[in-house]
Structure formats: structure tokens, C-alpha cells
Amino acid sequence: MRSLILRNRVAGLFVSASFCAFGTWIIVSGALGQARDPSRSAASRAQGVTAWEQVYSVLTHARCINCHTATNYPQQGDDRQRHFANVVRGAEGKGVPGLNCASCHQETNADSTGVPGGHNWHLAPLSMRWQDLNDKPLSSAAVCRALTDRSKNHNLDGPGLLKHHEEEALVQWAWQPGRRPDGTMRTLPPLTHEEFVAATRRWVEAGTPCPTRR
């Protein structure tokens, strides 16, 4: 009797192990099949690049590129003219003593004077410039390569870039830029902030692909 019970237990364990192994094989085989499906991989990359182009349309809008310059000074206005009063970048992108960014740019917009404001107002580092030395926006591929280069972007991976686009105060400012000195409203990027974040998420989920080099 005891021998029969033991044999039944062994048989049960064998059946359970077999089902477990079979299930694992199904999962692994499915994953390998997806990884080996070139059409699916190409489609995912294409969707990611499409999402990136939406992200790029925001990054090169005046609200963003005016502080992502290749110059020694910030720019202002939709025509991206040089910042008045000869404001310069400074060692940390925050101006120089006696003419630093925080002297005029407070925590919030000053609509009575037309001076924009936001937390920790400063220029982006030159490693994150979105324009060339002729004041023209860099190509989509060039901006993508720079943005995904962790030696240039403060070591941000895909999820880190998504978090930056979603939560960074100065990024959010682009959709609440306040009024110009003449009282008119500053223009907004071509996407809403929610659309921008959603496009960034799709791009990140696709593996942050960049357009073909050009």
C-alpha cells in the first residue's frame, strides 16, 4: 500500500513537471518567434520613428529651441532673436554675475511685464543644442542621436527621457508660456503636452529608434 502511494506521488510530480516544462517552452518559443519576426520588428521601429517625428516637432519649436541653442546666449520670440540686454550663457547656463537668469526670470510668468518664468530658469547645456552654428534647427536624426546619447543627456535612458518630458518644470512651461510684453499670448508647441508625452512614450516603448542618418 505504501509503495503504491509513493508511486502515485512520483507520477503526480512527473506530470506537474511536464506541464510546467511544456508551458515554459510555449512562452519561450512565442518570445523567440516574435524576436525573429523581421516584419514585426520593422513595424515597431517604423512606429517608433513616426512617434519620434512628433517629439521632434516640439523640440524644435521656439518654446524649446530658444533655450537649446548652439550659441553663447539664449534666444527669444518666435523669430528666435538674440536675447536683449546682451544676456550670455555663463559657465552653468544661468547667466553671469550681475546679469543672471534669475534676476528677471522668477518662479512664474510675470504677465504684467511679459517676462516668462519657471523653476530653475536656465539654458540647456551645449551638448543638448537643437540648432547648428548657422542658427538652423538640426535634422531630426541629429537631434535624436544627441538626445539618446547618455554621455550627453545626463545619463538618461528611455524611461528617464519620458519622465523628463512628462515632469520637468521647464518642459511643462512650454505649454504655459504666458504673455509677451505687448500683452499677446506666446505661441504653443504643435502638440499638447499630453500628446507630446504620449508620443515620447510610444517612441521609448519602440526602443527610442532614430531616423536614418542625414
**DSSP labels for 159-214?**
HHHHHHHHH-HHHHHTTS--B-TTSPBPP--SS-HHHHHHHHHHHHHTT---PPP-
What's the confidence (pLDDT) of residue 41? Answer: 80
pLDDT digits (tens, 9 = 90+) for 1-15: 445 444 444 444 443
What is the total residue count of the chain? 214
3-class SS at 151?
A: coil
pLDDT digits (tens, 9 = 90+) for 54-74: 999 999 999 999 999 999 999
The C-alpha atoms of residue 14 and residue 16 are separated, in whole angstroms, by 5
Residue 198 neighbours by CB under 8 Å, 6+ apart? none
- Name the H helices within 108-153: 140-147
Residue 178: other Cβ atoms inside 10 A:
16
φ/ψ of residue 55, rounded to 5: -60, -45
What's the confidence (pLDDT) of residue 39? Answer: 63
State whether the Cα torsion 56-61-64-70 is positive or negative.
Answer: positive
What's the confidence (pLDDT) of residue 32? Answer: 43
**Grid coordinates representing 41?**
520588428
Residue 157 neighbours by CB under 8 Å, 6+ apart? 150
What's the confidence (pLDDT) of residue 40? Answer: 59
The C-alpha atoms of residue 138 and residue 24 are separated, in whole angstroms, by 47
The C-alpha atoms of residue 154 and residue 124 are separated, in whole angstroms, by 11
The C-alpha atoms of residue 92 and residue 142 are separated, in whole angstroms, by 24
**Grid coordinates representing 17?**
513537471
What's the whole-model pTM score? 0.81
What's the confidence (pLDDT) of residue 214? Answer: 62
Low-confidence ranges of the chain (pLDDT < 50): 1-2, 4-35
